[in-house]
Structure 1
Amino acid sequence: MTQDELKALVGQAALQYVVPGAVVGVGTGSTVNCFIDALAMMKDRIAGAVSSSVKSTERLQAHGITVLDANQVDSLPVYIDGADEIDHRGYMIKGGGAALTREKIVADLAASFVCIADASKLVDTLGAFPLPVEVIPMAAAQVARRFHSAFGGQARVREGVVTDNGNLILDVRGLKISDPLALETEVNQWPGVVTVGVFARHKASVCLLGTPDGVKTLRF
């Protein structure tokens, strides 16, 4: 199977976690686009969606799915999103699509996080994928220096990218994240950091992994 076929497979499989009559949390990215397309087939059986990005909102609305603001809901039964990397404990790196802050906000509303990904995203240790960090523009150089001094990482501003929140993305290379929770906790304290793309406090409950043999379900 091609990578696109695997994404479509897990997007379809994620429908089993959508609670009929409820609002579903929807993430961002190419795999999530496949889920949104599949969700359109049951749009009359859900109360709507809370989206983590402008692009996902536009795709949902194009399918006739009602999109609610996060401030309009107290909680969500499930949030369905992809990952740039996921390890065997359910910890993830996210933010390749520059939507990490809104993704973490919606994930925080949800009782469970269902990660949908192809098998290439499963790793033993996070960090081969450059770690995205959303920063306030005036702090970009300062945060980059701190990554180098604290972790030996090389951080660069992602060129031509401004987040939906009006901020910049730093991509940090050269990391080997053996303790995702500790790194997330540390970096979250740095002035100018809006969100770090380690999802440890909001890790996956389930991962639907697209493999050549079909969808493999990992539970954490």
Structure 2
Amino acid sequence: MAADPKALKIAAARAALDYVQDGMKLGLGTGSTAEEFVRLLAEKVAGGLKVVGVPTSVRTEELARSLGIPLATLDDEPSLDLTVDGADEIGPHLALIKGGGGALLREKIVAAASSRMIVIADESKVVETLGAFPLPIEVNPFGLKATVLAIEHIGRQFGLTGEIRLRMKDGKPFVTDGGHFIVDASFGRIPATKAFADELNMIPGVVEHGLFIGLASLAIVAGEGGVRVIDGKN
């Protein structure tokens, strides 16, 4: 019998608690696996653990607040000790695709403000090459078509083709907490992740993209055989 996906998420989240110390300032990620970490963290806080959390989304903020975790903004606490977050894909050297939940801009800002970032996930998220999961790209609503054309152009330069689709919700464009749209690029595989990420950053209409490179320190991955830790050297 295959392991229950939720049980694997909880196992990875529980293992991440070992890296949390009293007095830490924590970035709190977004998504189903990160939410399991928030719930487990709340139990520790209820037991006396002293931490301050900086949420990466309104959704995470509401959950953490409802569970009694003390919260601050990144303006209040601009330097964090640790961020714990999920990922849509984990590639070689801990390069990630994130943003399936729509919080990639705030997630990247919080991760970059942290001394360490730990990624928690189930084994299915570990891949040899990033890109099977459509790459989320947060864009300014102004000039959307021109921005998509520019993304397509850059993609072709890297041999990347595939549908680039505006993310929708309830029949309307999905709007991020920052007021932007997201387009999801189904490239299939992205071998030259760093070079491609750099080119995406040069497109004026691109606010941020879901390629997280050089940000994660560790990945805690849960599978049927147990929990394993992947460091950035792998």
Contact 1:25 1:78 in 2 (8 A): yes
Tell me the equivalent position of 2:186. 173
Tell me the equivalent position of 1:103. 107
* Structure 2 segments unaligned to the other structure (5+ residues): 156-160
Q: Does 1:72 align with 2:76?
A: yes
1:3-82 superposed matches below 5 A: 3-43=5-45, 44-82=48-86
Distance 1:11 1:201 in 2: 21
Contact 1:6 1:118 in 2 (8 A): yes
Tell me the equivalent position of 1:187. 200
Over the matched positions of the two proteins, sequence identity in percent amounts to 38
Partner SS for 2:138: strand
Tell me the equivalent position of 1:120. 124
Distance 2:202 2:65 in 1: 36
Tell me the equivalent position of 1:84. 88
Tell me the equivalent position of 2:145. 141
Partner SS for 2:93: coil
How far the C-alpha of 1:76 sits from its partner, in A, is: 1.1
Contact 2:65 2:71 in 1 (8 A): yes
How far the C-alpha of 1:143 sits from its partner, in A, is: 2.0
Contact 1:79 1:113 in 2 (8 A): yes
Distance 2:68 2:122 in 1: 27
Distance 1:154 1:147 in 2: 11
- Look up the equivalent residue of 1:135 and give its one-letter code: V
- Select the residue among 199, 214, 218 that pairs with 2:226: 214
**TM-score (ref. length: structure 2):** 0.90
Distance 1:74 1:147 in 2: 32
Query: C-alpha deviations, 1:5-24, integer Å up to 9, x for none?
Result: 10011111110111211211
How far the C-alpha of 1:175 sits from its partner, in A, is: 4.2
Query: C-alpha deviations, 1:36-59, integer Å up to 9, x for none?
Result: 110012213223100100000011
4+ residue stretches of structure 1 with deviation over 4 A?
none
- Look up the equivalent residue of 1:216 and give its one-letter code: R
Query: C-alpha deviations, 1:69-112, integer Å up to 9, x for none?
Result: 01111311111000000112100000000000000010011011
Partner SS for 2:124: helix
How far the C-alpha of 1:128 sits from its partner, in A, is: 0.4
Contact 2:82 2:114 in 1 (8 A): yes
The count of corresponding residues between Structure 1 and Structure 2 is 219
Distance 2:96 2:16 in 1: 18
Distance 2:149 2:21 in 1: 45
Higher mean displacement: 162-171 or 37-46: 37-46
- Look up the equivalent residue of 2:226 and give its one-letter code: G
**TM-score (ref. length: structure 1):** 0.96
Distance 1:149 1:135 in 2: 16
Contact 2:154 2:200 in 1 (8 A): no
